[in-house]
Structure formats: C-alpha cells, structure tokens
Structure 1
C-alpha cells in the first residue's frame, strides 16, 4: 500500500464541536464486461473464462472490512453497483454482498440502490431476483436505439434488445429507471440524435443521462478515431435535445443528467454536493471526511487479478487533501449542478470559510461565469457553457 502523499499546504480541520459529516454513500465496482467498447476508458476487463463471482464477493467483503473504520458506523444513503457490467453477476452474489454490507453499516430507510445493466445481459427472472434482493433502481446502458450506431459503438445489444430491456425491467417491478444515451456518434445526423431522445422519452424512464461521445486516451477510438459530426451539428443536437427533454418533462439538473420531478439520482447528487462515499471493488475510488474534518481520497488495486490476490489490504493509495486543493475539489463537483449548491455547503463540507476564496469568486463573477454567491454557488448560463474555464480559476 502506498503512503499518503505529502500535502503542499496543511488542511485546516473543522473544529470537532461544529463538524457536520456529509451523507455517506457506497460505490461498488464490478470490473468485467462481455466485450470492451472502443470508446470506454473505465476500469473494465473482458474475461474468457467463467467469472470468479464468489471469490470476488469475498474480496469485496474483505475490502469493506478494511474501510469500516473510515465509515465509523455512519448510515448509508445510497449504493451504486457500477462497472464494467455489474449485471453479469447473479442476483444471489449481489444479495450476499448487500447483506454483508448491511450487517456492518445501517441503511437509510429510503436507501437508493442502483445497478448498472446492459441490455445484452437481461433475463426476466434474473432481474426479478435483483429487485427481490433490494435493488430498487436500474441504470440501463442503451447508448442508442439505432442498430447501425450500436454496431459502430461496439455494443453487444441491438435496437430490439434495447427496447426489450426496458420492458423486462418494468415487468420485474422497477419503477425507477435511468437510460444512458450518447450523442455525437460516428456519422450521426441531427435527426438521428433527436430520434434517440424521442424513443427514450416514449419509454417514460424516470431519469435520462445524455452525454456527448468523447475520444478518451487509452481507448480504441482514441488511437483510431471514427468520423464524428461537425461542431455545428453537435451544437444543434445539444440545443435541440435539451429543448426536447424539457418539453417532455425532463428537467436538466446536472451537465448530463435530466429527470422527471423528484427523480434525480440521489447517489450522483451526493457526489456533486461533496458528500462522502466508500469505494469498494477493483479500481474503486472513495472520499471520506474524518472526525477531525480532514478530507481523504483513496483508491483500490485496479486489476481484478491483483485485487483477488491482495488479501485483506487492497488499498492502492490514499491522500489527505491540502487546504489549497479543497476549493477546486469542491467546486469541480458542485458547479456541475445547474442550480449549484447552497453557499453554506462550502464551509460545512470543506472546513474553510468562503471568504478565503473571495478574490477568486470575484474574478469568476467579473468574467460572467458565476452568479452572486451570498446564498448559492451557481454558474451563470455562460459559466455552464465554459465550465472548464470557470474551474481553472480555482486551480
């Protein structure tokens, strides 16, 4: 295990008598996929043999035991199984982990438990069993309803399986669905992109994630770039898509997240509002506020084979954030939200006074990127368009 990195500027701890720990969530990473998509830069791996489900669940329980002192008995408000493709694991395996987690940490009465699932892995009985295990939200990786675009993206499902997946999810009892959609796909027209949105809304999911395809380093698409739409087409897709979803009752609340009233993703909101989260599984990252107010980020061994062989100690690195790192770390999350966060969150969740970054806030406001911040830290319309420029002021 690597040692914590030295801080360039010691973090100022929150006085214990005024400390209010933020909500705590858990992110659970299942790193395997049937096939690695050419655009994917996540920690995902294909396997030519049967997945070591039992061994991996055992390793994650050991990982959880290692992190329990960080959680200090706090209640979990949300759990998210991400990947990879978590729906490759059986409901029995995920249920075993959830029972182990709940035996060690209390669950909120209204806890949100999300499972990422891909249409090519759907079976009716399997998803009914997921629901019976306590998973109450599905995030389905549709990406597109166009057969040609799905093939170009390397997806293992076709357009018919995409539609069938939503139907099976509803029949399994899921009343909280997110559909993942991408736009700006290879050779995609404006009309095709909007057709995907229309098809998604016709299925009436509670939540839509809609984001532009980007070419990330260490992916097949990065080394062999496909032909993507021109900038003016991308801009027209973005504008028309947002208008279409707003008219259909899906309000944008984050850069790439749209929801029906009251159906925002609680787990993701916790990230953006600078909440805490345990990271369990190969390559998972976590953030914890300690009882003295110090904020730590940590990460786990990345490769599945190393994670399975590591025994109880799977933490690959950890770092206590320095005081001069906190403004950017906080704002890179908070300013992704369309309405930002209450200004009081800054001091409550970093231990710093907002007056400490007043000159930087003034610069952002002078550039037209930030709204007045007395009550709410919120980007302007221009700030939403130039979010990277806004955040760079706080580096």
Structure 2
C-alpha cells in the first residue's frame, strides 16, 4: 500500500489529441520543493489486488540491517543531485513499512537527518498495516520521529477483508486506528469500495465506522483489477458501474457533510490536514526516491529527470556493490512535460494557479493554452481568474481531459 494510488477514471469516447504548439524548450528558473520517498518492499503476504512493488516475507526473514545500510548508501549517492536543497517531507511506503523495527526506523531517520537539510517542521509519514502493529509499536515510531501515520484499513467488514486477502480483522482495524490516534495528531485511514460482493449499505457502514474513529484524513479508493495481480488472473465479481458510482457519491457527500475537504481525486482531509507529501506530487514538485523499485523526479538547470531503482529487494541490495543504485535515468522531453504536469495537477479538485505550470516545467503557458481552450469548450475545465481546475465532468472523465495534453 502506497499513497498516492492510481484509481479508476471513468472512460469516455476517444477524441483527437490536441498537441501543444511548439517546439518549446524547458528553462527552469528555480527548483521546485523537494520531498523524499523511501520504499520498504516487504509484506507478510501479497494481497490479490496489489500491484505495488511488494514481496512476501520468506522463511529467512527480512534483512533489515542490510537494507537500511543500502538505503543510507543510496541516499549518499544521490546527495550531489539535491545538494543545498531542503527536504520538506518524507514518506515511507511499501510494502508494509510497519514491519520495520522501531530501532531500525530510528537508525534510518537519524541517518537521513544527518545527510539532508530536513525542514524542522517536515511531515514524516509511515504506512502501517493493522495486522503488524500495536500501541507500543506506534509509540516507538512516534518517538523515532514519525509524525503522520497512514493505516491501511481497506474495510471493517470481515467478509470483505477476507476477500481482499488482508491479514487483519475488524477488531484489529479498529484497535490499530485507535492506537494511531492516541499517538499521532495526523492519521490517514485507507478505505476501499466497490469490493467483491459489496453493497451500498456495506460501503456506508465502513465509512460510518471510519468517521466514528475521527481521523484527520481519509483516502477512499475504488478497487481496480490491475494487470499482473491475482485478481486480474482470477477476477472476482465486483459491483457494476452504477452501484460503484452510488458508493462514490455517498462517500463524497457524507464526508463533505462531516467537514472533510475533498481536495484530490481520492483524498479527503480536515481543514489544513492535507497530506503535504502527496500535494508535492500533484503540484509537480521534486522527489528523491530511494529503496527497491523507488521512482524519483528531480529538476535542475539541465532539465527534469526521472529515475528508477532496481525492483527486486535482492537486486537492490546487490546494486550497492555496483556503485550506483540508479537502474534507469531519463530526461523528460519538453513535448512530454505538459501531459506529465497535467496528469498530476488536474487530480486536484481546487485546481492550480496558471503560473505554476511555468514554474514547475520551465515551459511558457502557451505550451498548454490550446489544449486548455479545447478542454474548456468541452466543459472539462473551468477558469476562475488565475486558477484552472477540472469541472465535475472533467474529474469524472480525467483520461479524456488528459488527452488534450498528449504529445503529438
């Protein structure tokens, strides 16, 4: 489980792609905000719907010390690319990072603080599985420096938890959420809907239970049958699109009534409790990704590059001997940048200021103007002063909207 997730977007009839005029050349005048993502690839077992880079723990256990040493070496190797830049957030995702020992986590966070300019008020998030934690463990994570917890509940219904292959039950989920809220002021609960055999009443009951716990943030995801998963190979029977839409409508309405702001496609937060790390993704900020299979995006005067690390834990650990953990590095071409930017920024329900496009891509606003004009004429976006945001139709047909910004 790893925020942010890709969630299903309603399909719409294909229309001709509106390419950006050009050619343009990317010229950044300042570095975007910088975040750090740390991937922890192990789980107790692989869930049948999961397409993240996660691996079930084998009999020999997790080589925690070696992996943490590799993460530190990976970070040290990347320091020249981020030298002098402040890190505003850390997100430790997986996999199941709560399998890490509190001592190991403390070692890791101490090593990070010693090597990067970490903002004193940095948001530091750890993902946790209810089946791997207790109150004492959460307390130790907090003492190590974590200040935001993301708990993968998914459902409070025993039948649905079993269908999803989760290792926890309803009682574990409630206990984990209560313990998290005891030790952390900022807590996200993950919920999924449109589960195999799920009814609207059951989805409503899951949400009601989550609301009664009182988290500061909720992430509500539509179950998708992703390629290369057990569910893709043997698809379960899931609610039809109309039933799924009813669940989505209820979730959005109920959370709005409860005072949560629907600020991103699948994210809801109390006022001023948005996930700062994920907002950095969606506003096309930079992030260094370390760990097995981690991705990163880094900007400099030479351009904007994406990096990936070796996916399998064994390959990642072996990479230390090769002197570099970077498996692939490529520059994002100017023709790709409009789509890359919009794919993130248009997930934000409140939209983005026009100036942000030039600030984060180094391209003039004219590079996306034609696409925006077309999308506006089709009712997919609206412009309010200097702010561009998707309409309700644009949010529901995001794939259709994004086609306006694909390279020719």
TM superposition score category, shorter chain reference = over 0.9
| RMSD of aligned residue pairs (Cα, Å) | 1.3
Give the TM-score taking structure 1 as reference length. 0.95
Structure 2: runs of 5+ lacking an equivalent:
1-21
The alpha-carbon deviation at position 106 of structure 1 amounts to: 1.3
In 2 relative to 1, CA 374–326 (structure 1 residues): closer, same or farther, beyond 3 Å? Answer: farther
Asked if 1:137 corresponds to 2:148, the answer is yes
1:372 to partner: Cα distance? 2.2
> Whole-Å Cα distance in 1 between the matches of residues 23 and 391 of structure 2?
32
- Tell me, in whole angstroms, the C-alpha distance in 2 between the residues paired with 1:201 and 1:140: 14
Q: Deviations over 1:128-163 (max 9, x none)?
A: 111001100000000000011000000000000000
- 1:287 is aligned to 297
Match of residue 51 from structure 1: 62
- Indicate the residue corresponding to 1:101 in structure 2: 112
Pairing 1:225–2:235 present = yes
Alignment of 1:179-194 (within 5 A): 179-194=189-204
Q: Does 1:234 align with 2:241?
A: no
Contact 2:181 2:215 in 1 (8 A): no
Which whole-Å CA distance do the structure 1 matches of 2:388 and 2:364 have between them? Answer: 13
The structure with higher relative contact order (CA 8 Å, sep 6+) is 2
CA distance in 2 between partners of 1:10 and 1:371 (Å):
26
SS in 2 for 1:365: helix
Equivalent pair of 1:60/1:281 in contact (CA under 8 Å)? yes
- Alpha-carbon offset, residue 95 of structure 1: 1.3
CA distance in 1, matches of 2:202, 2:365: 45
Matched, 1:355 2:370: no
Q: For residue 268 of structure 2, what is the aligned residue in structure 1?
A: 258
Matched with 1:12 is: 25
- Residue equivalent to 1:32: 42
Q: State how 1:231-380 maps to structure 2 within 5 Å.
A: 231-290=241-300, 292=301, 294-311=303-320, 312-372=323-383, 375-380=386-391
Identify the range of structure 1 (231-240 vs 77-86) with the bigger mean alpha-carbon deviation.
231-240
Is the CA contact 1:361–1:370 (under 8 Å) kept in the aligned structure 2?
A: yes
Figure out how many residues of one structure are paired with residues of the other and give that number.
Answer: 382
Shift of 1:70: 1.2
C-alpha contact (below 8 Å) 2:26/2:334 kept by paired residues: no
Q: 1:359 to 1:247 in 2, by over 3 A?
A: same
Q: Deviations over 1:343-370 (max 9, x none)?
A: 1100011011111222111111111101
Structure 2 CA distance, aligned partners of 1:232 and 1:162? 29
Query: Is the CA contact (8 Å cut-off) linking 1:11 and 1:321 kept in structure 2?
Result: no
**How far apart in 1 are the matches of 2:197 and 2:299?**
45
